[in-house]
């Protein structure tokens, strides 16, 4: 099975999309989030697992700096909205989580990959982060993210956008 090609590219506008989100009665549209803030979209494999919890906590601990750098943060996984609500509440994340159960947005960003888990190949989200500017243009991407130090790299990239 070949890996999908992402439909997003650095320095190109990101196609509009909408997904259900925690804290919202209606789906959230990318186009509605643009204008006043940059957008940090981070894709993670699964709610309430060790790496994903650490990553969410890191974004939470640095949230004030991310906001100061002009960003809105959103996490995306294939988990249900109900799962997201529990995960967000359990750890007090100050940002919303988007549910991509049918993988449309995951495919758009090309984050669905074959991974080895306990000796078997499984299809899942490759931990990835995307920085979209106020106009909806993808400015930076991080793929195969290692959690330690990642949020600081995102903040540095954000701060360089407005220089």
CATH of the domain at 83: 3.40.30.10
Model pLDDT, residue 162: 73
Enumerate the β-bridge partners of residue 94. Answer: none
The answer to the question of residue 8 being in a domain is: no
Across the chain, what does the average pLDDT equal? 92
Q: Which domain holds residue 134?
A: 18-161
The answer to the question of residue 2 being in a domain is: no
**pTM attached to this predicted model:** 0.92
Pairing status of strand 128-132 against strand 120-125: unpaired
DSSP state of 47: T
Lookup result for tokens 């190949």: 121
Q: Which of 53-57, 63-67, 158-162 has the lowest mean pLDDT?
A: 158-162
**Whether the Cβ atoms of residue 8 and residue 87 lie closer than 8 Å to each other:** no
The answer to the question of residue 78 being in a domain is: yes
The answer to the question of residue 3 being in a domain is: no
Model pLDDT, residue 161: 86
The answer to the question of residue 151 being in a domain is: yes
| CA pair distance 67, 87, nearest whole angstrom | 21
Clarify whether 52 is annotated catalytic: yes
Model pLDDT, residue 2: 47
Alpha helices in 62-149 (DSSP H): 63-68, 81-91, 104-109
Domain count, the chain: 1
The answer to the question of residue 131 being in a domain is: yes
The answer to the question of residue 10 being in a domain is: no
E strand spans, the chain: 18-19, 28-29, 38-43, 71-77, 96-99, 112-117, 120-125, 128-132, 138-142
Given the residues 52, 66, 76, 105, select the one marked as catalytic. Answer: 52
Angle at 147 between CA 146 and CA 151, to 5 degrees: 115
């Amino acid at each position: 099975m070949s890996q999908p090609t992402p439909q997003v590219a650095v320095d190109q506008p990101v196609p509009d999309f909408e997904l259900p989100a925690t804290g919202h009665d209606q789906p959230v549209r990318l186009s509605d989030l643009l204008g006043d803030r940059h957008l940090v979209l981070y894709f993670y494999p699964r709610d309430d697992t060790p790496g994903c919890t650490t990553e969410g906590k890191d974004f939470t601990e640095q949230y004030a700096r991310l906001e100061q750098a002009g960003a809105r943060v959103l996490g995306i996984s294939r988990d249900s909205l109900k799962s997201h609500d529990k995960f967000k509440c359990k750890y007090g994340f100050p940002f919303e989580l988007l549910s991509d159960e049918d993988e449309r947005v995951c495919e758009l960003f090309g984050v669905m990959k074959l991974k080895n888990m306990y000796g078997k190949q499984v299809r899942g989200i490759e931990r990835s982060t995307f920085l979209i500017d106020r106009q909806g243009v993808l400015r930076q991407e991080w793929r195969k993210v290692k959690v330690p130090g990642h949020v600081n790299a995102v903040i540095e990239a954000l701060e360089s956008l407005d220089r």
